[in-house]
Structures are given as C-alpha cells and as structure tokens.
C-alpha cells in the first residue's frame, strides 16, 4: 500500500532528528518541494495524498547535512524569495536586522540609492529595493557565481531595471555616494568549528575572515565614509561577540557607530549614520 504524505512526513522527521534541530520543518519543506506546491498548501490539503517517489532521496540528502535551501533551491528573506545554490551563502533571518535598521532610519520615503557590498544572492539589495519601489541600487561581489545568482534573482523578481550587479572588491573603484550602504561580510574566525551543514556546503570565502574574523572589517572601515552620502546610513553585519572590536575599527577612521540586535537579542549589526 502506497505511503501517504502524512506518514512519510512523520517518518522523515524522525529520521532527520539525528542531524537537524528543525527536523519536522525540514521534512515539510522537502515534501512540499517534491510535490511542487507551497508548504502551506501541502499542510492544509495534501497530507492524505500519496507521497511522491523522490521524497526519500531528498531526505537522504538532508540527512547527509546538505542545507534544505540548496536542496530545494530557494530561501525566503524579508518579503522576497531568493534562488540559492552551492557557491552562494544562504541568507539568514538574522541578516534582516540590517533591513529593519534601515526602515527605522528612512521610513516609508526610503533611500534613493543603495549599495550592497558582498551582495551574494542579492538578498539585502533586493529586499531593500522591494521595500522602497522608487530606489535604485548596486550590488558588488568578488565571486562570479554570486554575481550570476544575484543577477538571476533580480531578473526573476522584476528588479533588474533598478538593480545593477557587478563583480568587484568591496568598494574599490566606486566613486559614487549612496544613501544606504548594506554589507554582510565574512566574519568567522579561521579556526572556528562550524556545523557540518555550513562547513561542508557553504562557500568558505563568504564565511572566514582571518584568524580573528576581522580581516574584512579592516578593509571596509576606511571605505565607508567616502561611500556614504550626507544623511546616509550604513548597516554592517557582525558576529555576536564582535561589536566592540568592529566599533573600534570604525572609530579609528573617524566613524561612530551603534549596535543593533537581532530578534534573539544578540549583537548583529553596526549602524553608522553620516
């Protein structure tokens, strides 16, 4: 007798509990992907249907620590959904702290020009452009794979007319000033012991920043002032224990910052107002 979706979900969640803290959610996302429907639709009306034959293969990949976002090919962020894949960092909800800080600063009027340094999948830039329909922006990343993914996301979201994406090295060669500067740089110490989901699958170049995790902040700090327009705002993500060190690096270049915390109450971003 064919297994129903409900039973397959329970079996998969039990199996994934050994490798995932979100086993049931993972199973549901994988099942919805296998069925080709939204998770909410699957939960409301599809649980008594026959489970698709390729579901177990997806569960096996998750059981081997492959991130769900890479398996299903997308990740929700702020109000948008982004295509993601190997070679590009998976957007985290914690990074929405940067957008929240910008919304508090600019309100509904929003910034006119936005710069996203280390754009990756385009998450921060495209979320900001979706938030403020009159804004335009530039996303920069050293990785050709990231540039390709960000461009594809901009096109799929209908934002390519307002978003330029290009390969580059932080703010080098950029002569323009921007109202909003967003940045989620690598900030993990080189010796850090990461979960296998991250260590085995996500790009090291988007994670590690030297022995103390501060190498990219040292490069960014001297660039921020010349990239910010008068009245502008920079929101730069940090690791939860890096606030004082990063604030000091910016202070050395004449910039005063404040700390924004994420929903869990952890230090998550340095906010600099021009």
User: Residue 269 carries which DSSP code?
Assistant: E
Here the CATH number for the domain that contains residue 11 is 1.10.8
Same domain, 194 and 221: yes
| pLDDT the model gives residue 271 | 98
| pLDDT the model gives residue 217 | 98
Q: Which of 88, 95, 127, 93 is nearest to 111 (CA)?
A: 127
Residue recorded with tokens 């090295």: 169
| pLDDT the model gives residue 234 | 98
CB count, 10 Å around CB of 41?
12
Q: Which of 83, 77, 84 is nearest to 130 (CA)?
A: 77
Question: Which mean pLDDT values do the consecutive 10-residue runs of the chain (274 residues) have?
Answer: 93 96 98 96 93 97 98 97 96 98 97 98 98 98 97 98 97 97 97 95 96 97 97 97 98 97 97 95
Residue recorded with tokens 């009306």: 45
Q: Which domain, by its residues, includes 223? A: 77-273
Same domain, 128 and 15: no
* E strand intervals along 118-211: 136-141, 163-167, 178-183
| pLDDT the model gives residue 2 | 86
Spatial CB neighbours of 44, under 8 Å, sequence gap ≥ 6: none
- Asked, for residue 69, whether it belongs to a domain, the answer is no
83 bridge partner residues: 74
Tell if the pTM clears 0.85, that is, is over it.
yes
- Asked, for residue 118, whether it belongs to a domain, the answer is yes
Q: What is the DSSP string of 53-100?
A: TTHHHHHHHHHTT--HHHHHSEEEETTEEEE--TTSPPP-GGGHHHHH
- Asked, for residue 91, whether it belongs to a domain, the answer is yes
Q: Which of 68, 70, 77 is nearest to 95 (CA)?
A: 77
* 132: its two tokens: 């403020």
What's CA 121's distance to the chain center, in Å?
Answer: 7
| pLDDT the model gives residue 1 | 67
Here the CATH number for the domain that contains residue 196 is 3.40.50.150
């Amino acid at each position: 007798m064919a297994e129903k979706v409900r039973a397959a979900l329970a079996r998969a969640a039990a199996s994934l509990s050994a490798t995932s803290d979100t086993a049931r959610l993972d199973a549901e996302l994988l099942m919805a992907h296998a069925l080709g429907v939204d998770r909410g639709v699957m939960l409301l009306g599809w649980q008594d249907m026959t489970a698709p034959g390729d579901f177990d293969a997806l569960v096996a990949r998750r059981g081997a620590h492959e991130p769900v976002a890479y398996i299903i090919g997308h990740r929700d962020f702020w109000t948008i959904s982004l295509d993601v894949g190997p070679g590009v960092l998976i957007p985290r909800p914690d990074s929405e702290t940067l957008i929240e800080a910008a919304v508090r600063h600019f309100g509904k009027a929003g910034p006119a020009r936005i710069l996203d340094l280390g754009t990756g999948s385009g998450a921060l830039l495209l979320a900001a452009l979706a938030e403020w329909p009159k804004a335009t922006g530039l996303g920069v990343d050293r990785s050709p794979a990231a540039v390709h993914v960000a461009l594809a996301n901009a096109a799929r979201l209908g934002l390519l007319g307002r978003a330029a994406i290009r390969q580059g090295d932080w703010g080098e060669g950029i002569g323009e000033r921007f109202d909003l500067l967003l940045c989620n740089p690598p900030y993990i110490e080189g010796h850090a012991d990461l979960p296998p989901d991250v260590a085995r699958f996500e790009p090291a170049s988007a994670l590690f920043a030297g022995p103390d995790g501060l190498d990219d902040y040292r490069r960014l700090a001297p660039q921020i002032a010349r990239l910010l327009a008068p009245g502008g705002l920079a929101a730069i993500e940090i690791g939860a224990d890096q606030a004082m060190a990063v604030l000091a690096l910016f202070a050395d270049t004449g910039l005063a910052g404040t700390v924004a915390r994420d929903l869990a109450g952890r230090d998550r971003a340095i906010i600099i107002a021009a």
